[in-house]
Amino acid sequence: MTITRPGLALALLWLFVQLMMLWLFGIGQGGDSQRYLRAGRTITQGEMPTGKATSYPTYNLTVAASLALGFDQAGLITFQLAMSAIAAYCLYRLASHQWNQAIGTTAAFLYIIFLKLHPWNVFILTESLFISFIIITSYLFLKAYTSKSPLLIISTIITAAYTTFLRPDGLAIPLAFSVLALVTIYQKRAWKTLGILVVLAALIAPTAWQFGGRLAEHEFLVRHYAEGAIIWHYEPYYLTMPGSLPPQVSENTNPIFNLIYFALDKPFYILKLAGLKILLFLIHIRPYHSFLHNLLIVIWLAVLYPAAYFTLKKNPGRYPTLTIFLVSLFIFKALIAGATFADWSGRFFLHVAPILLLFASPTLQKKLAEILPRAKTVQILLPYVKKYSGS
């Protein structure tokens, strides 16, 4: 593999950003870090975690592997950093396959300079691996789809499963693949395949129902709804629930049934809660952030969202299959945020922010190629822009 000058520059920029994160935060711990460390130690002792820790099985296993191998927390952070580097490369390759090499370079550059993504690489939290493996899974899927290689298909399935079970909202990944499967079946009129899938879904439904119920129970969703929580632990943004809890809601009922009872009893209240949470997910700002912080987020997203929209409208790329999967994944993540809550830091949006960066890249690269020739101060870059954009 030949390393180009832009590739080397991006690698050095990525390294600089990660060293800056290590300098700023060291090995960081958040509110949930001790839960993962306890779960990892429990696994190394030959036992299984209990309680809410069971909602993060593959992250627990990753922590346990680092502890069992004697690498401790430093080994886990090293793994997260390595996966972030691989994700940057995979994003470059995704954009290169979907459009061209110049857009791939732009996508990787946007990923690296989006500094809000990178602090998580040095924290003992699920965010870093979830962000990285969504990108890696998407790239493996595209390679498997285009090559039909059995090895790549198996690798995609394993990686998708690992990513799905990193966090409860990893559910968005199989949901996005399900949408893709349904669209493909409809386009090919493969009704027999649809029948087989329906039978398989019916067979696994009881297990999925119980598993989903346990996850919902750990997240205390009905309590969040009753409290009117929009941003987790930010009471100034809480709504007041009309009336009282439906009489059918109880601790002995499957939490999914509890949610259904609640939604049927207070549909407009639920819609208002969900709408506000989705809005906060999409705009990413928070009332307790500084004015400058929120302003920079607004400016950044005011560029990315229109750019992604114009890409999807005018130049969605070579592989519609990839587009369907990624757009579905982004939408399901937003819907899951609406069904749960907007997190304090806005990190739920960051999980799928690289998807937005990917689709914004073609439009931004085109604009950049138009602007650079007119910018006298950057004439020195013009030969490289022409070389790597194919112009």
pLDDT of residue 391: 46
Tokens standing for residue 60: 């627990």
Per-residue pLDDT of the chain (391 residues; tens, 9 = 90+): 566 778 899 999 999 999 999 999 999 998 899 999 999 999 999 999 988 888 899 999 999 999 999 999 999 999 999 999 999 999 999 999 999 999 999 999 999 999 999 999 999 999 999 999 999 999 999 999 999 999 999 999 999 999 999 998 999 999 999 999 889 888 877 777 778 777 777 777 676 666 665 555 555 678 888 889 898 888 888 999 998 888 888 777 777 778 888 889 999 999 999 999 999 999 999 999 999 999 999 999 999 999 999 999 999 999 999 999 999 999 999 999 998 888 888 899 999 999 999 999 999 998 887 776 655 444 555 555 555 554 4
pLDDT of residue 377: 45
pTM across the whole model: 0.90
Q: Which residues contact 24 (CB under 8 A, 6 or more apart)?
A: 119
Q: Which of 328, 359, 338 is nearest to 178 (CA)?
A: 328
Indicate the burial class of 386 (C-beta count within 10 angstroms; 0-12, 13-18, 19 or more): middle
Give the count of alpha carbons within 13 A of 345, CB side only.
Answer: 11
Residue range 224-243, pLDDT digits in tens: 888 898 988 888 889 999 98
Please, what is the end-to-end C-alpha distance for the chain in angstroms? 23
Q: Which amino acid is at 233?
A: H
pLDDT of residue 217: 58
Q: Where are the domains of the chain?
A: 5-30+71-389
pLDDT of residue 188: 79
